[in-house]
Amino acid sequence: MSQSVNIDPRVRGDLFAVSLLPQTDASTAATLSRKLLVDQASGFQKVVSVEDNREDATGYNEPTDIDVLGIAGEGTLTLNKPTPDQVAWAMRMAVALPNSATVSNAEYHTFKLLDYPTELPYFTLAHRKGGGSVNRPASEWERHIGVSIPQVVLNAQRDEFMSLALTCAGVGRGGTSRYTEVFDSQDFTAGNPSVVLQYDVEGTDAAGYLEHVQVLVDNVSATAALHASNKTQYSIEASLVSYTPGTNTLVISNSSPAISGTKVVKVIYQVADDDTSGDFDWVTAAAATTSLSEYKMKSGNIRILMGSDPGATNLALADWSDHTTFNAVSAGISGACDVQSLQWTLNRNGAAQQCWRSDAYADSLYAQSVELGDTEQELVIDRLAMDWLLDACRENIITSGASIETNWSGDYFGVELNSYGPYITGTDDDDRLGIRIYWPRCKIVGRESTVADNKHRYNWTIRPLVDTTANVPSMGVVISNNVASYL
């Protein structure tokens, strides 16, 4: 007989799956189709806003009840070794304005920063917590519907892999693969009671099935209605005798501990990944997802360019679809060992919002959308004090007759980060896996002087800007790989 589940809580068994393409709206799930290789500290969870009744005149000094105000979602997904596919997916959700086109034998995907969005695309996320051991179940699969990415932090550090930290917000919808059923009036005096479960139980053999089931018994009440009115508890964890797949029959023991009389029983179990009902197809899809085998971006294959103002010649919106003609940096320098790091932050200041009821009788606890605030961007480049290129961009010296003045508003200049990997096919450079991120029109807003390894360094704070004359977005991305589309 089995008395308790034996959950494997180790994060080594965690899996994350996402919908490669956006949802049609905030509340409709999309198909889970890609495994996301995030770090072990990543996660997403429902946030339930509650209020107690301490302000009500109940006649008691302490609260006597809790009311639920609403449900939203929040979390962080960190890609410590992102591939072009994972970066493309993140940019599709966080940057928007996508386009895809075939060039030679590769697929090129462009993403331009949308200036005034009210909402970003929503995706579906599934997370398996723990598990992976034989007959030691995961805590559960969780599915989160209506997740968006209002903040991205890209960090390119010398001698390290590039990373992407995605701060996520969601509307709170979703569910888990852990299912609960309540059975009234189970007679423990007559023998070992049996119940028929609605769904298939996870497991591969007799012992494995029982490892995925937990049964709790109210030793006072016989029915769920009496349990509620009596305000009693499911105070006994019952042992299990057997589970029969196919019929989904679970036999509960009336001994170890001894239980007698007619009781209400709560059964909590992990639904099988391959359950045949169709209600948990998302679990099957999540468990079957895979990630693309692509190269990982690191300092050895990343190039950082800083240069003069590229002007508006080839920055019109139409030109962004052609990676061969777009140049964010027309002159300047290519960072080598002088650049320690580049960090880019894009913050949409998004937050889940509760709206007024739209249905006739619905009482929705879920947020309706993730509403965006102002868009903020910042680049920080940590660089050795080896030349005056960025100083010149910052100070903008103006000569007027015999006098020399400093215009601290600075010059415009461009910044680009690019990375190219192996050929997808052939030897044409257009067929390489790769990524280019542009900030074509920037100004310096700060310089912090530091010393590291007995060398003078500057932390340059740079602000990407919109070019109003040429209608050019403040940043854009071009990614080449073998995926047909992220639209």
Asked whether 76 and 43 are in contact (CB, 8 A), the reply is yes
The two three-digit tokens of residue 401, written as one number: 């007759």
Give the C-alpha distances (Å, rounded to integers) separating 96 from 21, 469, 477.
Answer: 12, 22, 10
At residue 315, the pLDDT reads: 43
Predicted pLDDT at 107: 80
The model carries a pTM of 0.88
Domain residue spans of the chain: 180-270
Task: Provide the residue-wise pLDDT of the chain in tens; the chain has 487 residues.
Answer: 555 677 778 888 899 999 999 999 999 999 999 999 999 999 999 999 999 999 999 999 999 889 888 999 999 999 999 999 999 999 999 987 777 766 666 787 878 886 677 789 999 999 998 876 655 666 789 999 999 999 999 999 999 999 999 999 999 999 999 999 999 999 999 999 999 999 999 888 888 888 889 999 998 988 999 998 888 888 899 999 999 999 999 999 998 899 999 999 999 998 988 887 888 999 989 989 999 999 999 988 888 888 755 444 444 444 444 444 445 555 567 777 888 899 999 999 999 988 776 665 566 788 989 999 999 999 999 988 877 777 777 776 555 555 555 555 667 888 888 888 898 877 777 778 889 888 888 888 888 999 988 989 889 899 998 877 766 778 888 888 888 888 8
Q: Which of 218, 214, 212 has the alpha carbon at shortest distance from 184?
A: 218
Query: What pLDDT sits at residue 313?
Result: 42
Which CATH fold would you assign to the domain 180-270?
Answer: Immunoglobulin-like (2.60.40)
* pLDDT of res. 326: 47
173 three-class SS: strand
H/E stretch holding 209: helix 206-210
Look up residue 43 and give its two tokens. 């996660």
Token pair of 187 as six digits = 């007679």
Q: What share of the chain is helix, strand, coil (3-state, %, to 5)?
A: 10, 45, 45
**How many H helices and E strands in the chain?**
5, 28
| Residue-level pLDDT at 289 | 94
